[in-house]
Amino acid sequence: MRLLTGHARLAGVLGWPVSHSRSPRLHGYWLETLGIDGAYLPLPVHPEHFASAVQALADLGFRGANVTIPHKQAAFDACDAVDASALRAGAVNTLVFRDGRIEGSNTDGFGFLESVREQAPGWSAADGPAVLLGAGGAARAVAAALLDAGCPRVTLVNRSVARAEALARDLGGAIDVAAEAPLGGAALLVNTTSLGMQGQPPLAIDLAPLAASSVVADIVYVPLETPLLAAARAHGLRAVDGLGMLLHQARPGFEAWFGVAPRVDAALRATVATDIPKTAA
């Protein structure tokens, strides 16, 4: 059993609730396999106590923390400095405490791009237009990452057109809004909604217009194989599940807190996916 010393590096995940988070298992696996003197803890914090909790963690010598629902905007406001990824995403999911300062970034877009590159080898954001379903925080991070990585055009499709238009205005650049998904000519389709998640209705969309070279990605990872991904594979398309985004977005924070660049591999995926249903019930 790995034992901590007085020099142990500490980090964790702030959320309300936080019991559902798989981040402790994810980071715990890296700490164990890399033999690092450190710990990563679940930190349930009520929204009204968030700012004081972050300051307390910094004062206690924590190296930083991940931030999950509903604290990502509050985390942005709590930072002394935020990087370009956080500014583009409008939210913070990774905090680093350094020299008495609270620094914030958003690694969701990085995690998404790395996941697609891993699961669809040879893919590039510059391959062609992308269609994003949804206009929430995840859509914003993914859209910003795609545009910054050279995607020629991103189209947002959302039930609330006004919300999608507001997001498009905020991000700027080659981004459009459409009432129906323009799949003809799209190189990438991304579901950033909760449709297809366990307990939610499946996402109903006809994938026939997509070219054989297109990639279909779903940020939902419960179940691992959503109905959308199953349909994509049935059409012979490359499918990218949401678990990869979760795994890869954790890498920058872990390296900042514990001083080692971790790897995402099959053993990590199997460990984190232990209790995740493989297909929809």
Residue 20 to residues 24, 55, 125: CA-CA distances in angstroms? 10, 24, 31
Please list the residues that pair with 98 across neighbouring strands: 101
Read off the tokens for 29. 């696996």
Q: Distance of alpha carbon 109 from its chain centroid, rounded?
A: 6
Please give the model's pTM, rounded to 2 decimal places.
0.96
Q: Where are the beta strands (DSSP E) in 165-213?
A: 175-177, 188-191
56-79: per-residue pLDDT in tens?
Answer: 999 999 999 999 999 999 999 999
CA distance 182 to 209: 9
Which residue among the candidates 22, 63, 71, 72 is catalytic per the annotation? 72
Confidence category of residue 83, pLDDT binned at 50, 70, 90: very high
95-144: per-residue pLDDT in tens?
Answer: 999 999 999 999 999 999 999 999 999 999 999 999 999 999 999 999 99
Q: What angle do CA 234, 194, 169 make, to 5 degrees?
A: 105
Q: Where are the beta strands (DSSP E) in the chain?
A: 9-15, 38-44, 64-67, 81-82, 94-98, 101-105, 130-133, 154-157, 175-177, 188-191, 215-218, 238-240
Specify the 3-state DSSP secondary structure of 52. helix
Is 72 among the catalytic positions? yes
